[in-house]
Every structure is written in C-alpha cells, then in structure tokens.
A = this chain, B = another copy of it.
C-alpha cells in the first residue's frame, strides 16, 4: 500500500515535488485550479524521469499513481502529507490550510513558501501545530536541500516527521533552529541579487559577465564545500582564525552597495531582461532546463563517486531503498528482471563513429552487476572481509548501437544460482529496445586461499530469494550459447 502525498499548487515547484514523491513510490493527488496544471506537471515530470533515476544505483521503486482533483478535499483524501506551493498570498494560504484541515484533520502540511514564517502560516488555523515550512530549491527533483522551519507551535514530533518524509524522498532536510524571514538560502541569494542589480544598473557588468564571475570561480567551490569550509582551506595551516584576521577588515571596506536598494522600475526590468535575452536567448527554456539537469546530474554523480556532500545524501538514500527492496523480496517480488542501473550515453562514452564505444557495453554490464552485488549484501564491506564474486566467463551479444544522449537501462535476470555461483543474463536496454546482452558466470571465492567456496548465509539467502523469484521467467532468447567466445 503506497503512501500518499497531496500537492496543492502545481507549477515548477509543485511539479518538482510531485515528481520526487512519484519517483520514490508515493501516490500523489494534485489540486491546482490552473487549466494548464496537468500539462505543466507532465513537463516537469518528464524532465525528472530523465534525470533523477540516473542518480540511483539501486532499483527505483514502482512509480506511484498521479491523480488530479477538482477540489482540495479530494486531493488530500488518504494523504499523510501535503506540500503546499500556492502563490505567496497569506490569505490564500490560510484558506487552503482551513480546507485541508477540515477534509483531513491531523494531516501534516509543509509549505514551499519563501516569504512567510511558519508562525505567519499558522495564524487562525484549527491545528497550527501541523503546519510547517519545507522550503525547496529548483529543480526540486534534483537539488537535495529542503529548509524545514517550524514555530514554537510545532512540537518536536512534527519537525521529526517532516524530516523523515524529506529523507524518504531523497532530500536533505536542514532544520532551521530559529524562525527567521527567508530562512538561510534565500537570505544569501537576496544579498547577491541586490548587489548584482546594482552592477547592472550602474553598467559595471552585464548579466552574462556576472554569471561568468560566479560559475568560473566561487560557484564551482560552493557546489561541494560551502563558504566556511572553503575559507578554512584559504586560511591554510594557520587555520580559520588566520583567515578571519586576513579577511575580517574587509568588512569595513566600502565595497558593495548593500546598504542601499536599487529602485525597482520598468527600466531596470527591461535592462535585465534584455541582457538575459542576449546571453541565453538562443536556448529555449526547456532546452536550458535539460542542459541544467544534465550538468547537475554530472555534478551529483561526481560527488557520489567521492561520497561527499550531496553525493553522501544520494548514497544514504540508496541504502534506505535497498533495504526497502529486500523487504519487498521477503513478501515475494514480481518475477521480472531487476532494473539495476540507469545510465546515459555521454560524449565521453562514444567512439568516433558516433556509437557507444565497445568497452562501455561491458562497463554498463559491470555497473548492473556491481549494483546487484551491493543489493545482495556482497558489497565493499563483504569484499573487505575476504570474500567476493569473480567473473569466470562472459558472453556479449551486440544487438544494436547506442548513440550520444541515449538513456540506457541495465536489467539483470538470474538464470541459475547455488551457494557457490550464479549465472546472470544482463540486458542493456534503450527504452524497449535491447542493444546488448551479457551472459556471465560468477563464482564465489575466498580471496585469501583463492578457492571457490559457499557464500555467506545472509548473501546466499538474498541471492536465493531473487533466483527463486526469477525461476519462473522464460529462458531469454540468446541465453545458453557458448559462453566465453567473444565477438571481435
């Protein structure tokens, strides 16, 4: 029985939330009076489907059910959590909360607001204790940060419940310890935004020059360490105190125009919009979104490979989902090949014929097998303890050609298994289309003595459960052919 979230208010933010819940297996009920809501959410969901699975190294749960409703009451029926992303009008939000709490008393309500504090949102509510701020950053389906900000009216249990739900959909909940306007992130963004508008207004720099000043320099630092850890390094061996002593006095220098606010008029708007068109007008918004998402996937995968920052969040999320997957196994999984890897063919993957280079097919298979081994508990720790599965034989069939940008899925079917070995059949799929199959025989070895031995009971137990679930599957076409003869 899938958990259900209600999304009140669609658009880019509401749609991003919907995508996170759906792709993490939650059912989602949407209420948004905008007649375009279904189209808009479908577009955000398409972007999310193309990006979020590429961050996962364990099977994604079956996608939840998405429904649209004509009333708030229907949308929130059976929901255990509500994400409210309506426009920033306090009276509107109060009206929405009243209807939500009337239809589903006791439901937890998180707001995407960036302009109001929890105590503002809670005013005049029947159950103020169930209303809290969960403020995300766009794109919601990729960026982990969710600023969780409550008021004294929220008991610790409500804050904790919100934190757990955010973690369940792979986010990084940051609990703000004191109620302040704009929370943390937007206070920094506002500071930079003001300064940037002054530079434009004064003709110091263009929107493009300002963007370059950020993304060619400190922006790269901030994606992996923030402000203070970066400066700690700048302080060198002498440390943070030394850095403060160096940089501290700068506070007194009359550099920025922060004391002042530029007049916000049509002239300024036209200046910014015009320069932005000159800078980015050659790309459509959807195109810019795809470029941004691919870059973010690249950053996040790089951090995941290094188990650092946002990459650590991804690994922890994988571990939770692997556990959830085993729970489903105990109750008997549907007999289908397991989706173990989601990849995209990047420019670095293709050969000079424009096709995915030979080694990448084997690489895609290794990714699939490695994730499978992690799944059955034969990961790093197991190997560190002295046992592992070695590949004895491999048979590759090239059935198609993957090209730049193709999204590939690696599935595994266990053909046979005992305590000492398993025979696997990996399919590398582009959509429905199978571009390669890799049949392998893997032996379980004691690495110290270099001999084939039975796997540890807990590993064999997980492998056995999957092998039994797959026993009912037909033998794949192409399986069982002489293994070990590779094509040239």
Output the nearest chain B residue to A269 by Cβ-Cβ distance. Answer: B244
Kindly state whether residue A451 has any CB partner on chain B within 8 Å: no
- CB of A199 within 8 A of CB of B228, answer no
Q: Given known contacts A191-B256, A226-B210, A352-B389, is B295 in contact with A233 (CB within 8 Å)?
A: no
Q: Given known contacts A216-B145, A249-B264, A380-B352, is B357 in contact with A359 (CB within 8 Å)?
A: no
From residue 192 to 229 of chain A, which have CB atoms closer than 8 A to chain B?
A: 192-197, 199, 202-205, 207-229
Kindly state whether residue A156 has any CB partner on chain B within 8 Å: no
Q: List 27 A-B contacts (CB under 8 A).
A: A137-B218, A174-B209, A177-B203, A178-B204, A188-B192, A189-B227, A191-B194, A192-B192, A215-B223, A215-B225, A220-B223, A220-B296, A224-B295, A239-B285, A248-B264, A249-B264, A252-B264, A291-B306, A298-B303, A298-B305, A348-B367, A351-B388, A352-B378, A353-B383, A359-B363, A363-B363, A394-B488
The minimal Cβ–Cβ distance linking A151 to chain B, given in whole angstroms, is 15
The minimal Cβ–Cβ distance linking A23 to chain B, given in whole angstroms, is 19
- CB of A232 within 8 A of CB of B362, answer no
- CB of A195 within 8 A of CB of B205, answer no
The minimal Cβ–Cβ distance linking A274 to chain B, given in whole angstroms, is 9
Question: Could you say how many copies of this chain the assembly holds?
Answer: 2
From residue 234 to 261 of chain A, which have CB atoms closer than 8 A to chain B?
A: 234-237, 239-241, 244-245, 247-256, 258-259, 261
The minimal Cβ–Cβ distance linking A296 to chain B, given in whole angstroms, is 6
Output the nearest chain B residue to A144 by Cβ-Cβ distance. Answer: B216
Which one, A71-79, A92-100, A308-316, A409-417, is touching chain B?
A308-316
- CB of A177 within 8 A of CB of B204, answer yes
Which one, A25-33, A275-283, A327-335, is touching chain B?
A275-283
Q: Given known contacts A192-B188, A228-B276, A383-B353, is B215 in contact with A143 (CB within 8 Å)?
A: no
Output the nearest chain B residue to A367 by Cβ-Cβ distance. Answer: B348
Chain A residue total in the interface (Cβ 8 A): 152
- CB of B188 within 8 A of CB of A195, answer yes
Most B C-beta atoms less than 10 A away, residue of A180, A256, A366, A486? A256
Kindly state whether residue A358 has any CB partner on chain B within 8 Å: yes
Interface of A is mostly: helix
Q: Choose one: B186, B232, B275; the contact of A276 (CB below 8 Å).
A: B232
- CB of A292 within 8 A of CB of B225, answer yes
Kindly state whether residue A447 has any CB partner on chain B within 8 Å: yes
Q: What residues of chain B lie closer than 8 Å to A380, measured between beta carbons?
A: 352, 354
State in angstroms the CA–CA spacing of A302 and B294 once bound together.
9
- CB of A255 within 8 A of CB of B182, answer yes
- CB of B307 within 8 A of CB of A347, answer yes
The minimal Cβ–Cβ distance linking A220 to chain B, given in whole angstroms, is 4
- CB of A226 within 8 A of CB of B233, answer no
Kindly state whether residue A273 has any CB partner on chain B within 8 Å: yes
